[in-house]
Structure 1
Amino acid sequence: MKKISGRKKSLALVLCLSFTMTLSACGGGNNNAAPTDPPAATVSPTADNTEKATNAPSAEPSGSPLDLAMKGEYKGTKVTMFGPFVDADQVKFESSIKEFEEKTGIDIQYEGSKEFEATINIRVDGGNAPDIADFPQPGLLASIAKTGKVIDLTSVLDQDKLTANYNKSWLDMSTMDGKDGKIMAGIWNRSNVKSLVWYPKKQFDDAGYKVPETWDELMALTEQIAKDGDPAWAIGIESGAATGWPATDWVENIMLRTTTPENYDKWVKGELPFTSPEVKNAVEIMSKIWLNKDYVYGGAKSIVTTSFGDAPAPMFTDPPKAWFNMLGNFITSFFPETAKVDQDYDWFYLPPIDAQYGKPVLVAGDIYAMFNDRPEVRAVMEFFTTGESIKSWVQSGGVIAPMNDASLDWYTSESDRRMAKLVQDASTLRFDGSDLMPGKVGAGTFWKGMTDYVSGTATLDQALEQIQSGWNN
């Protein structure tokens, strides 16, 4: 694919107006004419020459596809988009693109579906792919990229601009196996953070507790709260058919804090088995909290029967019956409506365990892929790489922009601003591992194996072997 530059060389029409030259120079006569030769005749513009000058084509508008779109070059065109945003999320998404549509005249026709994961494969295989698709599970995009039906954005988007506007980890996560080698399969637009520990701020401060900076400090604080008469942690993994998924977030976070990013990548690809020492170590570290009856509200067995959305409730009693809940920033939608961020509740970063691995951050989010290559589609994709494309959504709360040009001033709470800064400054960013794994593992044996282990119906070794069987089968 050739990158659209929007440039052509202008036609230069040179008219010889009122200048003097020798006839030999104009007509190829004696090149050795003496200086005393009479001057050549003066050439005046003819009517034909004047007409040619007037009708000379003007230079085409220059700039990137987004620049040209903003100049109205693609007014009246349509770009189709398919994704999982429905209900309130669809309203927020459509609000975020409204100004772009008004400025450019491009109509982004968005179709949201709760059955996106099942439908997108059917549409792509049937030759009815949308121009752009929003994948909340990059593992699904990776499987489609291997078919060669996803357009490689390496030659579509300015790579220097992307490097300047994204943490390198985001770009690494957009690189996937194509039919004939590695491709840039998509660009990241909306994200949320999964390395957060939520707590009741006012009561926490009143109790004299301090936010832990290391894992040892976290465990010491957990023990101190237990000695003060309360379990520190409020944990629940019940989620209907998806029961067990919150446990995967814990394992993923601990993996990032106890082994290399390369090992994490191998793990989510199935190259580092669940039965490996690295994964077993991560679950054992988690177990020191989860399986300690003094540390968890209701004890370990209640974890399996408590809905993840109900789990934080004990933090909001007066006084709190539990103090910590570790889940992504979406969990605040399950907090009491009267609870105010930065006042009634706050969060701290889940501390590092091994300092050599820095401050890694586990994220989830949406990656947009391109299936049809037209100038207006390129313009929309370029727009989606800018913070401006998600500004109104950021201002409404609940999402984090992965782009560096998204101003921290857009966030309406100090909590969200800190979260955005955490993502920008992360030493390592990695996507939710279970969402990168094949469904039979990430949304199958991983969920069930962790549930069986926490409930006591399987030993750790049995659970890890059960989870690994998803890969083996």
Structure 2
Amino acid sequence: MHSKISTCRPHRAVTAVAALLAGALALSACSSGDDDKEGTGQKPGATTGSTVSLPKLDGAKLEVAAVWTGGEQANFKKVLAEFEKRTGASVTFVPAQDPIINFLGSKIAGGQPPDVALLPQPGAIKQAVQKGWAKPLGAEAVKELAKNYSQGWQDIGKVDGKQYGAYYKAANKSLIWYNTQVFENAGAKEPKTWQELLTASQAVYDSGVTPFSVAGADGWPLTDWFENIYLSQAGPQKYDQLAQHKIKWTDPSVKQALTTLAQLWGKKDYLAGGQKGALQTEFPQSVTQTFTGGDQPKSGMVYEGDFVQVNIGETKSKVGTDAKVFPFPAVGDSAPVVSGGDAAVILKDSKAAQALVTFLASPDAATIQARLGGYLSPNKNVPLSAYPNAVQQKIAKALIEAGDDFRFDMSDQAPQAFGGTPGKGEWKDLQDFLRNPGDVAGAQAKLERDAAAAYGNGG
């Protein structure tokens, strides 16, 4: 499925969004960290007045599946508790494994599909529709989406013009987080270009700290690294063509991006544990080891989206003071803006399931989780004051003001077999590239072979 988000947009649109984000983050030098958010008088998780009408569902039972764990899962359960309170329904959270399509397939084969699933890829939504699993959203959910979401966020949840997904969660995946103490000790400055990032990395290294943690044990952060470089360097039109496999992974633009990526991944001393250590580092650890150990952590920086804050919260570091963030630097003409997200999809059509997705599409649900931190909503009617710190508020503001001028995560647009399966496709190929960053041609050949098989075309 190719949405309006995947249409060609000029460089200047992306540049404008990147400039907005850069300016927003520059204003976010500190955060209160208080329980009372921005003087709203409300504690995290407190609810606001109802803006969405929900039916009484006394006795109804629902299952909701998602791959979320830890704090993210706990916070979402508080949203589900509010739905239970308002409707009288009973909702059970079902922990799913990646890839969630495979997990759902086994559940459906066993005759026990969850009522609603949160799918992290547009490709997975399309697959669920093609298999006959997904049910179209009803009039109330569609009405709620139209009221609260930009056209682009609505379209990315459509298949063949019909609404199947409601994007409950978004991610800004064009951010690099850094240990403030490390940067201060190294005399490093927030970089705006790729060359400046390499300079800052060298300064951090010279100060005695390894520059980067890379979550190589998980394939998906590696795809995000590539996408930011590729979007900035090759531009939006090439990005869309590669996302749809209209050009091959053996294209010179891919060679250029991988060669650029190797400028960091190819330097053993720039990666915590070297390439071997990076391949054993899972995403949560890549974050926590950057913000523990005082001014001598295992790394000074870590790349990933706004959701990094959940993991920073597991350390004693405070976002906005101990942990700061800058936009992914411009590699080409403009800085990249890559987004991702999770959409609620109905698998068992019922009054209760439709009501739950309608609730998730409302500002009521998103506001609850926004207050708890580590979460970003594409819902434009969630008050910015709901986000728990200045950094998160500015990231949310930038996403909403971007409207449709962003690019959705490329691997999430791909067929699941290529862009969303651990140990296979792009995830595995980029892990192999991290292991041997000198073999650009070999990585391209593997990527093209796997993409051609998954897309069913030769590019």
TM-score scaled by length of structure 1:
0.71
Q: Is 2:284 aligned against 1:284?
A: no
Amino acid in the other structure paired with 2:229: I
1:374 positional shift: 4.7
Q: Is 2:247 aligned against 1:268?
A: no
Please name the residue that 2:456 is paired with.
none
Structure scoring higher RCO (CA < 8 A, sep ≥ 6) equals 2
Please name the residue that 1:433 is paired with.
410
Q: Is 2:120 aligned against 1:136?
A: yes
Please tell me whether the aligned partners of residues 214 and 271 of structure 2 are also in contact (alpha carbons under 8 angstroms): no
Please tell me whether the aligned partners of residues 227 and 338 of structure 2 are also in contact (alpha carbons under 8 angstroms): no
Distance 2:435 2:103 in 1: 35
Distance 1:253 1:263 in 2: 13
1:191 positional shift: 2.8
Is the alpha carbon distance of 1:266 and 1:411 closer, same or farther for their aligned partners in structure 2, counting shifts above 3 Å? same
Please name the residue that 2:154 is paired with.
171
Please name the residue that 1:30 is paired with.
none
Please tell me whether the aligned partners of residues 132 and 369 of structure 1 are also in contact (alpha carbons under 8 angstroms): yes
Alignment: residue pair count: 393
Please tell me whether the aligned partners of residues 182 and 209 of structure 2 are also in contact (alpha carbons under 8 angstroms): no
Please tell me whether the aligned partners of residues 236 and 310 of structure 1 are also in contact (alpha carbons under 8 angstroms): no
Please tell me whether the aligned partners of residues 359 and 428 of structure 1 are also in contact (alpha carbons under 8 angstroms): no
Select the residue among 228, 233, 236 that pairs with 1:258. 233
Aligned-pair Cα RMSD in Å: 3.3
Distance 1:306 1:87 in 2: 18
1:86-97 paired onto structure 2 within 5 Å: 89-97=72-80
5+ residue gaps, structure 2, are: 1-50, 454-459
Amino acid in the other structure paired with 1:102: K
Q: Percent identity?
A: 25
Please name the residue that 1:352 is paired with.
330
Is the alpha carbon distance of 1:270 and 1:209 closer, same or farther for their aligned partners in structure 2, counting shifts above 3 Å? same
Distance 2:258 2:117 in 1: 35
Is the alpha carbon distance of 1:215 and 1:75 closer, same or farther for their aligned partners in structure 2, counting shifts above 3 Å? same
Is the alpha carbon distance of 1:213 and 1:425 closer, same or farther for their aligned partners in structure 2, counting shifts above 3 Å? farther
1:350 positional shift: 0.8
1:465 positional shift: 0.8
Amino acid in the other structure paired with 2:82: E
Please tell me whether the aligned partners of residues 308 and 374 of structure 2 are also in contact (alpha carbons under 8 angstroms): no
Distance 1:316 1:367 in 2: 33
1:462 positional shift: 1.0
1:186 positional shift: 0.5
Amino acid in the other structure paired with 1:379: A
Select the residue among 177, 200, 206 that pairs with 1:221. 200
**276-285 vs 229-238, greater mean Cα deviation:** 229-238
1:285 positional shift: 1.8
Q: Secondary structure at the match of 2:315?
A: coil
Q: Deviations over 1:369-403 (max 9, x none)?
A: 12455555433322211221122222222211221
Q: Deviations over 1:401-431 (max 9, x none)?
A: 2211111211222222222223223363344
Please tell me whether the aligned partners of residues 253 and 362 of structure 1 are also in contact (alpha carbons under 8 angstroms): no
TM-score scaled by length of structure 2:
0.73
Select the residue among 158, 169, 183 that pairs with 1:190. 169
Please name the residue that 2:452 is paired with.
472
Distance 2:223 2:75 in 1: 29
Please tell me whether the aligned partners of residues 185 and 207 of structure 2 are also in contact (alpha carbons under 8 angstroms): no
5+ residue gaps, structure 1, are: 1-65
Please tell me whether the aligned partners of residues 361 and 429 of structure 1 are also in contact (alpha carbons under 8 angstroms): yes
Is the alpha carbon distance of 1:149 and 1:236 closer, same or farther for their aligned partners in structure 2, counting shifts above 3 Å? closer
Please tell me whether the aligned partners of residues 141 and 361 of structure 2 are also in contact (alpha carbons under 8 angstroms): no
Q: Is 2:398 aligned against 1:418?
A: no
Larger Rg: 1
